[in-house]
């Protein structure tokens, strides 16, 4: 919004022309969200404590986690508003993709908020039933898929990295893939959020990566040179990604080990869904497997653990899933698990960038 107002005066104040540039507004969006989450962090933590929004730790978890009982949760109530306010200030309000991703952030945030609220009101780690939560996620993701499928500026071809000019049109199958990506990424981030700062830092890395991908895919000349799909208007999502990076950095200030606050499902479900939606709109869906590789790895560890447990009648592949608990139970101190997983997420992001010219 501010962007449109300030740009109106660029004929009177010439340097206001700079507000036209996505790069400049992405930096402002990052700094605005960082300022909001950092400055309001202490107030939100205090309010969550007063509202008894405290974490109930599952019995069967690693013993060390019992000490975390009572930590304020629902820190997503700090992250999401910081993101939305920054996006409304600095993104182009006429861009449909911006509003679609804002809607995803708020609707998945509402699902997570409901889950967190039920856990807190029941005073145990049992919120929405798995089926109810999944049904709500699929419903929202299906609405996104329908909007994108029907939007004339968006096509249903699947962009395959490494294969020049190969982009099969999946038709309605693309809509199903959209639902799978959004719901899958949302739940993968949710599963990953099990140690202090373990989810938010790879989120910052992933959105920093998609900030650049958004800018590239929305720039017709650069997209053509790199031979990646040009998606008119997707460049504005760089402003959105910048807001998530900024809000995430401000939240990490308080979520860093030992955490003063957890993001809750209100944060993890929303951030995961946003990441999946941005990957789809920029037509870098397959790249998400690499950029969000840590989230994929965590989710797969649960799938394989549960599957093997059922097939073998009780045996386990890992000491405990998701995989971060396995290393905890191997004796790695929590900060060591966290930082090593951060390193992996940075390596994966660098690998994703390296594919940009490998065609
Ligand atoms: C999401 N939530 C954390 C916090 C955070 C099917 C099964 C794999 C499901 C899975 C599960 O319940 N996942 C829920 C993970 C929880 O964090 C809260 O949840 C929000 C994110 N959704 O914001 O509010 C706990 O994680 C710890 N935590 C931190 N620092 C943070 O910054 O230390 C979170 C954020 C918090 C806190 O202790 O209480 C979670 O782990 O529940 N279940 C599991 O992940 C459990 N695994 C398991 O049961 N494995 C089995 C089978 C089912 C695969 C096995 O391996 O045999 C583990 N999680 C817990 N206890 N808490 C192990 C048991």
Pocket of ligand 1 (CB under 6 A): 55, 57-58, 60-61, 65, 68, 73, 190-191, 193-196, 255, 259, 262-265, 268, 302, 305-306, 316, 320-322, 325
Which pLDDT does position 274 carry in this prediction? 98
- The residue whose CA has the least distance to atom 61 of ligand 1 is 61
Q: 64: which DSSP letter?
A: G
pTM of the model: 0.95
Which pLDDT does position 56 carry in this prediction? 78
What is the 58 CA–ligand 1 centroid distance (Å)?
A: 8
**Mean pLDDT by 10-residue block, N- to C-terminus, for the chain (359 residues)?**
76 78 95 98 96 81 78 96 97 96 98 96 89 98 96 87 81 94 98 98 98 97 92 97 98 97 98 98 95 98 97 95 96 97 98 83
What is the 194 CA–ligand 1 centroid distance (Å)?
A: 5
What is the 247 CA–ligand 1 centroid distance (Å)?
A: 23
What is the 81 CA–ligand 1 centroid distance (Å)?
A: 24
Q: Which of 63, 73, 194, 332 to mutate to test the pocket of ligand 1 (most atoms within 8 A of CB)?
A: 194
What is the distance between the alpha carbons of residues 47 and 167, in angstroms, rounded to a whole number?
A: 49
What is the 243 CA–ligand 1 centroid distance (Å)?
A: 27
What is the distance between the alpha carbons of residues 350 and 352, in angstroms, rounded to a whole number?
A: 5
Ligand 1 atom at minimal distance to the Cα of residue 56: 39
What is the 61 CA–ligand 1 centroid distance (Å)?
A: 8
- The residue whose CA has the least distance to atom 7 of ligand 1 is 302
Q: Is 74 exposed, middle or buried (0-12, 13-18, 19+ CB in 10 A)?
A: buried
Which pLDDT does position 90 carry in this prediction? 95
Which pLDDT does position 359 carry in this prediction? 56
DSSP states of 131-150:
HHHHHHHHHHHHHHHHHHHH
Which pLDDT does position 181 carry in this prediction? 98
């Amino acid at each position: 919004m501010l962007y449109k107002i300030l740009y109106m005066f660029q004929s009177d104040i010439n340097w206001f022309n700079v507000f036209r540039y996505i790069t400049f507004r992405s930096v402002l969006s990052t700094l605005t969200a960082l300022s909001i989450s950092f400055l309001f962090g202490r107030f939100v933590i205090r309010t969550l404590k007063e509202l008894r929004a405290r974490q109930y730790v599952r019995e069967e978890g690693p013993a060390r986690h019992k000490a975390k009982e009572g930590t304020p949760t629902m820190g997503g109530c700090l992250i999401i508003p910081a993101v939305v306010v920054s996006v409304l200030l600095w993104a182009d309000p006429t861009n449909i993709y911006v509003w679609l991703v804002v809607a995803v952030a708020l609707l998945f945030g509402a699902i997570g908020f409901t889950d967190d609220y039920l856990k807190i009101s029941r005073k145990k780690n049992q919120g929405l039933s798995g089926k109810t939560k999944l049904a709500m996620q699929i419903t929202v993701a299906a609405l996104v898929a329908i909007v994108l499928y029907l939007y004339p500026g968006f096509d249903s071809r699947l962009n395959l990295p490494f294969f020049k000019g190969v982009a099969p049109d999946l038709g309605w199958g693309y809509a199903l893939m959209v639902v799978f990506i959004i719901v899958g990424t949302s739940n993968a981030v949710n599963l990953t959020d099990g140690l202090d700062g373990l989810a938010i830092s790879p989120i910052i890395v992933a959105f920093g990566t998609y900030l650049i991908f958004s800018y590239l895919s929305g720039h017709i000349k650069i997209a053509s040179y790199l031979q990646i799909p040009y998606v008119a208007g997707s460049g504005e999502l760089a402003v959105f990604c910048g807001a998530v990076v900024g809000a995430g950095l401000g939240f990490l200030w308080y979520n860093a080990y030992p955490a003063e606050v957890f993001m809750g499902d209100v944060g993890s479900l929303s951030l995961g869904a946003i990441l999946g939606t941005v990957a789809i709109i920029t037509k870098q869906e397959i790249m998400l497997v690499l950029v969000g590789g840590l989230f994929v790895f965590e989710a797969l560890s649960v799938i394989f653990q549960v599957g093997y447990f059922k097939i073998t009648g009780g045996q386990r592949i890992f000491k405990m899933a998701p995989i971060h608990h396995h290393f905890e139970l191997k004796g790695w101190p929590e900060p060591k698990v966290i930082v090593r997983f951060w390193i992996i997420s940075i390596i994966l992001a660098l690998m994703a960038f390296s594919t940009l010219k490998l065609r």
